[in-house]
Structure 1
Amino acid sequence: MNKKSVIISTDPGIDDAVAIALALFSEQLDVKLICPIFGNVSLENTKANTEKLLTLYGKAPRVVLGSRRPLLRKSINASEVHGKTGMDGYSFPEPTISTEQSLTAVAAMHEVVNQTEGKTTLIGIGPLTDIALFIHLYPQDLEKIEQIVVMGGSLGRGNYGVLSEFNFAADPEAAKMVFDSGLAIQVAPMEVGRQAKVMPEVSEKIKELGKIGDMFYQLFSKYRGGSFATGLSMYDALAIGLVLNPEMFEIVNTRVEIETTGALTAGASLIDLKGYLKLPANAEVAISVDPKQFEKWFVESIAKTL
């Protein structure tokens, strides 16, 4: 079976840790490059967390350091959700993986895309700064991109601003550049992540799935993306789910516009489900996920880490 080549831009973050594992242990994906970026916590922490995770996973894809800040704005973070370091709650082994810093993540993306036979999928589960820069700096590479798969945006209200979801609020201009690129895009918005909950009984199953399952269980106990007792939202895992198991989603083809000029609404995603904007579709948007199918896929995928 030919594996799908992917590049992951990520800001781990507890749900990023899960998404990275789902991708690395999938028989369907070849993770060519991981680029830690600012976001949930500082770049120093997302770099360190990526190195810790890959060491624990026993995987060694190429890792190149991403952007430290947004294109135009001041950085924000989500340490109140993920903890100060982004990986509080588990004692990781000393990292044996090192992150390249002699070139930019964007230059590394260019190298990988051109060295890869066939097309590459870009997966963005943090701010979209590096993917936007890649689109801007290497337009000649875009014909080699199969699609961009994103966790971000919201169908309605936000979780950072009144109308803005965190990943898009972290760099609205970058998100706009991505959606204006003309590339094939799939999106899992915030509300779908809230449907894809890991319930307490599922956490208990995961705890028994070896050292990686136990690590997730320990991190879940510190994660504030929901409640350990009433269910945790697995936002970033949905991007991997869109690539590997799209059948569990209801997906619509529609227009997504990103607000960049609003004084109070920067980063808001206008997902035009009713055609108000009278603009052609530019993205496939997941509007729901089957919770039972997600749970089955999620547990089975983590079991592959054994």
Structure 2
Amino acid sequence: MERVILDVDTGLDDAVALFLAAGLEEIQVEAVIATNGNVALSKTVENTLNIMETAGCSCPVYKGSDKPLVRKHVIAGEFHGESGLDGPVFGKRKLQHLQEGDGITEMIRLLYENPKEISIVSVGPLTDLAIALEREPNLPTLVKQIIIMGGSFSEGNVTKEAEFNTFADPEAARIVFSCKAKLVLFPLDCTRQVTLSPERLSLYHAKPGRSTEVFAACMDTYMANYEKHAIGWPQIHDPLCVAYLVDPSKVKTILRKVNVDITGGPSYGKTTQLPAGEDDGVWIATTLDIPWFWSLIDRALAALP
């Protein structure tokens, strides 16, 4: 059983990552932290609570950072909609509510009480992790591994050179990528290989279950926004980090040092690879078994309410 803390800025593909983590028997979700990112914190909190309620998952949900370390807050609403989770409609929650306290403090507490037993999956800006590292310098020795969706070593998706999560808080990303914990990174170069076709989406519409219904409604919005921008089929970024927990052998990686541009110029947030030393490398995902990934999605949704 892989124990995990999820750090999310819940938009459309984050919702899929949450469903995947909640539905797979190989994963135990210890806590979820909703942070600023795709939309403002107040919206990512509501979106996270609604998805975890739909999934029937009673794990605690905490509030994370409401702004980046240095830069002004940026959002990704053009793909995720005004709410960050446009598409599904949610009723009044009965199971889930926001926990009191600070998600970053809770992350540190859980890692101290369970050294080397819990992984962190971060699929939003890395603000929460950077603050945790500054508060607790021993965190890299306490966490089992940190799995991140972010960065690009080719073309960005928010500027010509920068990927959104890294661009949303470059200073935080730089802190995390140099922290000397075991780091696994899923950049756009890998995640862009996994797309949702209209044919596959139509199959989910035909399947039963409230979680599958919400998943399909989220993907309808995602599909429409990709079509509006004429950039092909929706790319399923964030869930790949959760899938990695189940079977790392399905993912090919290379060890490199990752540098983040924090100069504030046109390359602000750009990630570049450098040769890795003995203790400053990041395992960068390059390819994965795509049919295997979709089999996990199918199995997780089938197991959920």
TM-score, normalised relative to structure 2: 0.92
1:69 CA drift (Å)? 0.3
Task: Name the counterpart of 1:267.
Answer: 269
In structure 2, do the counterparts of structure 1 residues 143 and 292 end up closer, same or farther at CA, with 3 Å as the change threshold? same
* Pairs within 5 Å for 1:149-188: 149-188=147-186
Task: Name the counterpart of 1:39.
Answer: 37
Structure 1 range deviating more: 289-298 or 176-185: 289-298
Task: Name the counterpart of 2:234.
Answer: 232
The answer on whether the counterparts of 1:209 and 1:302 sit within 8 Å (CA) in structure 2 is no
Task: Name the counterpart of 1:301.
Answer: 300
The match for 1:251 among 250, 253, 261 is 253
* Pairs within 5 Å for 1:66-85: 66-85=64-83
Task: In structure 2, give the amino acid aligned to 1:147.
Answer: Q
What is the CA–CA distance in structure 1 between the aligned matches of 2:163 and 2:277, rounded to whole Å?
22
Q: What per-residue deviation string (whole Å, max 9, x for no partner) do you get for residues 153-190 of structure 1?
A: 01211011111100000000110100110110001111
Q: What per-residue deviation string (whole Å, max 9, x for no partner) do you get for residues 182-222 of structure 1?
A: 11000111132221112122212222141111111111111
1:125 CA drift (Å)? 0.4
Task: Name the counterpart of 2:190.
Answer: 192
The match for 2:7 among 3, 9, 18 is 9
Q: What per-residue deviation string (whole Å, max 9, x for no partner) do you get for residues 277-300 of structure 1?
A: x75551111112233333333323
Count of matched residue positions in the alignment of Structure 1 and Structure 2? 299
The match for 1:119 among 114, 117, 120 is 117
* Pairs within 5 Å for 1:17-32: 17-32=15-30
1:117 CA drift (Å)? 6.4
1:255 CA drift (Å)? 1.6
What is the CA–CA distance in structure 1 between the aligned matches of 2:55 and 2:214, rounded to whole Å?
10
What is the CA–CA distance in structure 2 between the aligned matches of 1:188 and 1:270, rounded to whole Å?
14
Task: Name the counterpart of 2:215.
Answer: 216
1:258 CA drift (Å)? 1.1
The answer on whether the counterparts of 2:24 and 2:296 sit within 8 Å (CA) in structure 1 is no
What is the CA–CA distance in structure 2 between the aligned matches of 1:189 and 1:287, rounded to whole Å?
8
What is the CA–CA distance in structure 2 between the aligned matches of 1:132 and 1:170, rounded to whole Å?
13
Q: What per-residue deviation string (whole Å, max 9, x for no partner) do you get for residues 91-125 of structure 1?
A: 11212311124x22211111221233652111100
The answer on whether the counterparts of 1:198 and 1:295 sit within 8 Å (CA) in structure 2 is no
What is the CA–CA distance in structure 2 between the aligned matches of 1:50 and 1:107, rounded to whole Å?
19
What is the CA–CA distance in structure 2 between the aligned matches of 1:183 and 1:118, rounded to whole Å?
11
The match for 1:54 among 45, 52, 63 is 52
- SS for the counterpart of 1:264 is coil
The answer on whether the counterparts of 1:196 and 1:295 sit within 8 Å (CA) in structure 2 is no
In structure 2, do the counterparts of structure 1 residues 156 and 118 end up closer, same or farther at CA, with 3 Å as the change threshold? closer
What is the CA–CA distance in structure 2 between the aligned matches of 1:241 and 1:5, rounded to whole Å?
13
1:30 CA drift (Å)? 1.5
1:261 CA drift (Å)? 1.4
The match for 2:89 among 88, 91, 94 is 91
Task: Name the counterpart of 2:291.
Answer: 292
What is the CA–CA distance in structure 1 between the aligned matches of 2:97 and 2:304, rounded to whole Å?
22
Q: What per-residue deviation string (whole Å, max 9, x for no partner) do you get for residues 229-280 of structure 1?
A: 95321100111122113233221111211111151111111134xx4xx755
Gaps of 5+ in 2: none
Task: Name the counterpart of 1:131.
Answer: 129
What is the CA–CA distance in structure 1 between the aligned matches of 2:24 and 2:294, rounded to whole Å?
16
- SS for the counterpart of 2:30 is strand
- SS for the counterpart of 1:35 is strand
What is the CA–CA distance in structure 2 between the aligned matches of 1:254 and 1:141, rounded to whole Å?
21
Identity %: 28
What is the CA–CA distance in structure 2 between the aligned matches of 1:209 and 1:180, rounded to whole Å?
45
Task: In structure 1, give the amino acid aligned to 2:167.
Answer: A
The answer on whether the counterparts of 2:56 and 2:304 sit within 8 Å (CA) in structure 1 is no
